[in-house]
Amino acid sequence: MDKKIARAKGLQARALLSLKERNQKSHAVSQEVISRIHAGMVIGCYVSIKDELNTSEILKYCFANDITVCVPKVVENTLQFYKIKSNHDLVPAPFGLLEPNVMEMIPVQKIDMMIVPLSSYDSKNHRTGYGKGYYDSVLLNCRNRIGVAFREQEVDQIDVESHDITLDEIISA
């Protein structure tokens, strides 16, 4: 399936979920992700917005358990990840995003688990994002690339291009 079509289908399916369904499914996925986080790990995690799978529970767990967590900031045509210690380290950014307002950048090679947003996915762990390629620009250098999504965002198959990076796993509910 063409990536634009897959993206549109995944985003539409996500938008049709009720707030209650999104919250329940976000909790289930977050609990599965949290079960894989251990002391000493460095976690890369997006800060959810709008109807994305909510990552706030994952971030709170990391803050409460002294787990190093880094969140992305768009810099030119790529992402840089910065260590945050609380939600107070985030400020509004373009497109309704929250970005880190701190100085400690963590190279993606040092991140033990990268939690990746997506707009759609297939059974072979291919994903579509929002079409800008920001995550594809860093995923090749990441270990343990985990997509998180709602099951409703799964499509039959996504056409991949040479620059697309397949995820190691997708956790959905």
Q: Which domains does the chain have, with CATH numbers?
A: 3-172 (3.40.50.10420)
Contact 91, 98 (CB under 8 A): yes
Percent of the chain with pLDDT over 70: 100
- Based on its alpha-carbon atoms, the radius of gyration of the chain, rounded to whole angstroms, reads 15
Which tokens go with 16?
């049709």
Q: What are phi and psi of 50, to 5 degrees?
A: 50, -125
* pLDDT tens by residue, 134-149: 998 999 999 999 999 9
Mean per-residue pLDDT for 73-97?
92
Q: What is the DSSP letter of 21?
A: H
What is the model's pTM?
A: 0.95
In whole angstroms, give the CA distance from residue 111 to residue 150: 24
Of 164, 171, 169, 137, whose CA–CA distance to 6 is shortest? 164
